[in-house]
A and B are shown apart, each in its own frame.
Chain A
Amino acid sequence: QKEVEQNSGPLSVPEGAIASLNCTYSDRVSQSFFWYRQYSGKSPELIMSIYSNGDKEDGRFTAQLNKASQYVSLLIRDSQPSDSATYLCAVNPPSGAGSYQLTFGKGTKLSVIP
């Protein structure tokens, strides 16, 4: 069974600090990895995609992928109270899997303390 594991948190960081969110996945042949942010009472919003090993930066966000370790992370620099949300890690099966479903982790709740 394909699984995506995240620490449920809550993860509390002070404003201005770096928040580090981690995710591991079980399907070794997974190819696509996504981070979604979900504010309370709202639907998920895509914030990062990563497909190859290494780092990918977009503004204050950096996604890191290590396929050998089956590990993907999200770093948020200069954390702001508006970053307080639940962050969902999602993994896409390899090409040919058919339905293009994403496997979601249960999410990590981040609280940025002013």
Chain B
Amino acid sequence: GAVVSQHPSWVICKSGTSVKIECRSLDFQATTMFWYRQFPKQSLMLMATSNEGSKATYEQGVEKDKFLINHASLTLSTLTVTSAHPEDSSFYICSARLEGRNNQPQHFGDGTRLSIL
């Protein structure tokens, strides 16, 4: 149980393109999902908390207008990197947690490697 699917796995695109990444909880409902970014040899950095039916909560320094998050259902959150540039190239990972109790862990998707040319 607690499988999180993330799509696509790889994206290579030209500068200025907008890229959408999907995160799905396959066998459970998740009112809260999380989006992380990880640069090579660095630690996970939380970008935002995605809340079903309401606005995402962004971490300090993360541009809301550049990283659009939509959490339209209990099993799907999307992250859109708008007008991507080479500095946005990174490994983007989503996670979701089981509902019910506060002490549930987060389960991660396989990540999306984004390369902007």
B53 within 8 A of A: no
B49 contact from A43, A49, A95, A101, Cβ within 8 A:
A101
Q: Chain B's interface: helix, strand, loop or mixed, by majority?
A: strand
Number of interface residues of B (CB under 8 A): 21
B29 within 8 A of A: no
Number of residue pairs A-B, CB distance < 8 angstroms:
57
Stretch from B12-20, B74-82, B108-116 that touches the partner: B108-116
Cα–Cα distance between A100 and B110 once the two chains are bound (Å):
21
Interface centre among B34, B43, B46, B49 (most CB of A within 10 A): B43
What residues of B have a CB within 8 angstroms of the CB of A99 in the complex?
32, 49, 57
B43 touches A51 (CB 8 A): no
What residues of A have a CB within 8 angstroms of the CB of B107 in the complex?
46
Number of interface residues of A (CB under 8 A): 27
B103 contact from A32, A45, A46, A101, Cβ within 8 A:
A32
Listed in ascending order, the chain B residues whose CB lies under 8 Å from chain A are 6, 32, 34, 43-44, 46, 49, 57, 91, 93, 97, 102-111
Listed in ascending order, the chain A residues whose CB lies under 8 Å from chain B are 31-32, 34, 36, 41-46, 49, 51, 88, 90, 92, 94-97, 99-102, 104-107
